Amino acid sequence: MTLEALIQVLIGGLLLGGLYALVAFGLSLIYGVVRILNFSHGTLLSVGGVLASLLYATYKLHPVFLILILVPAFFAFGYLFYAYLLQPLERRSHFESTVGTVLVTVGALLILSDLTAKLAGATQRNIPLRFEAIEIGEIVISTTQIWILGGIAVLTVAMQVFLRKTWFGRAIRAVTQDPVGARICGVDSSRMKAATFAFGSSIVAVAAVLYSMSFPVDPYMGFGLTVKAFTIIILGGIGNLVGALLAGLFLGVAEGLTGFFWKPEWAPALSVILLLLILVVFPKGLGRSR
């Protein structure tokens, strides 16, 4: 167990954690505005990843193009999904709308996983780009990893700018903190919700492409990701971007370290155990919403 090996693990963990954080960003924005538990959110990543690798395998497109294709597609999908399947439920009683959204999102999860599996097979796949290895001492980093880290960084910064400097972004934060207050400022709540849902889904598209560049994807991994995303937003606070990033990185690194020092198979359980532990001590989550 050398320092170099440890650093290698840390880098991998940061990478993975950053990607988790991207998934969580989308969920955080959506949940803050729409207040709906979307069980199929993580499945979007598995679908996106499978689609991306399929497109790559067929057309050899550069990941940037893959992103340019998938983002609008996911935006449109998110918008329609919310507008036709979820929004109508809001008119119902609290009990029925809660139950309804559970059933709709669970149904979507099953459908999406199954269709993706039929489309591309249930086996894992990814985007096997050629890369160069850069060696710093005994640490090996691939250019792919650098690209991904770069992508994560860029996206995070872009999102921060978006949330602080654009009207749409500020409106998202406002609605998360006080929906009535936002309404009387003239924020149209139904369009806002649909747009946020769409936007949150399109962030996952980016995460999906980046993810499949370095890790394998399969059609059924979605739910586990959703659980991790939930864990992250509870740790970081709903609507809190920086908190989600830190929580995501923390989770990724923790999983890596668990695998390194103990056993890799336990890594997935980590997020869950963490979630339960944190919620015991802080029943309302950790961070403040921003």
Partner 1 sequence: MLELEHVAVDHGSQRALWDVSLQVRERELVGLLGANGAGKSTTLGAIIGLYPAASGSLRYAGEAIGGRSTSRNVAAGIALVPEGRRLFPAMTVEENLAMGAYAPTARRGVREALARTYELFPILADKRRQDAGELSGGQQQMVAIGRALMSGPSLLLLDEPFIGVAPILVEEIIRALRRIAAGGVTMLLVEQNIHRALDFVERAYVIENGRTVLEGGRDALVGNPEFSNKFLGLD
Partner 2 sequence: MRRLGGPAWKMALFLAAGGVPLAGNAYYTTFAFTILIAFVLAQSWDWVAGEMGYVNLGHYCFYGIGAYAFAIVLVAKYPVVLAMLFALMATAIAAAVFAFPLFRLKGDYFAFGTLALLPLAEVLALNMVPVTNGSDGIVLPPDNVLGEAYYIALAVCVATVIVTGWLTHVRFGYALKSIRNDEEVAEVMGIRIFPVKVAVIVLAAAFAGLAGGVQAWQMSFIDPGTVFGLNVALVPVAMALLGGSGLLWGPLVGVLLLATMQQWLLVNVTGYQATIYGTVILLIGRFMPGGLLRASWVRERRWLSGLVQEHHERITGTGAARQVSGQLPLAVRPTDRSRPMLECREVSMTFGGNVAVNAVSLSIMQGEIVGLVGANGSGKTTLFNCISKVYEPVGGGILLDGRPLAGLRRDQVAHLGVGRTYQIPRPFGDLTVQENIAVPLMFGEDRLGPREALDQAREFVAYARLDARLTDRADALSPQERKALEFARALACKPKLLLVDEVASGLTPMEIKRFVELIRDVRDRYGITVVWVEHIFSALAQVVDRVIVLEQGEVIADGVLGDVVKDERVLRTYLGGAAQKAAVGHA
Residues in contact with partner 1 by the rule CB under 8 A? 167, 170-171, 173-174, 177-178, 180-188, 288-290
Residue 203 CB, nearest approach to partner 1 (Å): 21
Q: Any contact of residue 288 with partner 2 (CB under 8 A)?
A: no
Distance CA 218, CA 76 (A): 23
Among residues 3, 5, 80, 92, the one that binds partner 2 under rule CB under 8 A? 92
Residue 79 CB partners (closer than 8 Å, separation 6+)? 194, 195, 197, 198
How far is 138 from 121, CA to CA, in rounded Å? 38
The neighbouring-strand residues paired with 134 are 141
Q: How far apart are CA 13 and CA 95, in angstroms?
A: 40
Least Å distance, CB 64 to partner 2, is 32
In the complex, least distance from residue 271 CB atom to partner 2, rounded to whole angstroms: 8
62 touches, from partner 2, partner 1, none (C-beta below 5 to 8 Å by class): none
Among residues 3, 4, 88, 158, the one that binds partner 2 under rule CB under 8 A: 88
Regarding 83 and contact with partner 2 (CB under 8 A), the answer is no
**Is the alpha carbon torsion for 285, 45, 94, 83 positive or negative?**
positive
- Nearer to partner 2 (CB atom), residue 37 or residue 54: 37
Residue with Cβ nearer partner 2 (162 or 220): 220
Q: Spell out, one character per residue from 96 to 115, where the chain touches partner 2: x when CB under 8 A holds, - when not.
A: xxxxxxxxx-xxxxxx-xxx
Closest approach of partner 1 to the CB of residue 289, in Å? 6
Residue 135: which region, alpha, beta or left (left: phi > 0; alpha: psi -120 to 50)? beta
**Which x/- pattern over 117-156 shows residues binding partner 2 (rule: CB under 8 A)?**
-x--------------------------------------
**158: partner contacted, choices partner 1, partner 2, none (Cβ within 5-8 A by kind):** none
Cβ closer to partner 2: 15 or 275?
Answer: 275
Q: Which is nearer to partner 1, 68 or 174 (CB)?
A: 174
What part of residues 202-261 is at the interface with partner 2 (CB under 8 A)? Answer: 223-224, 227, 230-231, 234
Q: What is the rounded CA–CA span in Å between residue 215 and residue 128? A: 9
Asked whether the beta carbons of 206 and 155 are under 8 A apart, the reply is yes
The answer to whether 89 contacts partner 2 (rule: CB under 8 A) is: yes
User: CA 81, 86, 88, 93: dihedral to nearest 10 degrees?
Assistant: 180
- Residues numbered 154 to 183 that lie near partner 2 (CB under 8 A) are none
Would you say 182 or 204 has its CB closer to partner 1? 182
What does the binding site for partner 2 look like in residue numbers (CB under 8 A)? 35, 37, 85, 88-89, 92-93, 95-104, 106-111, 113-115, 118, 223-224, 227, 230-231, 234, 263, 265-266, 268-269, 271-273, 275-277, 279-280, 283-285
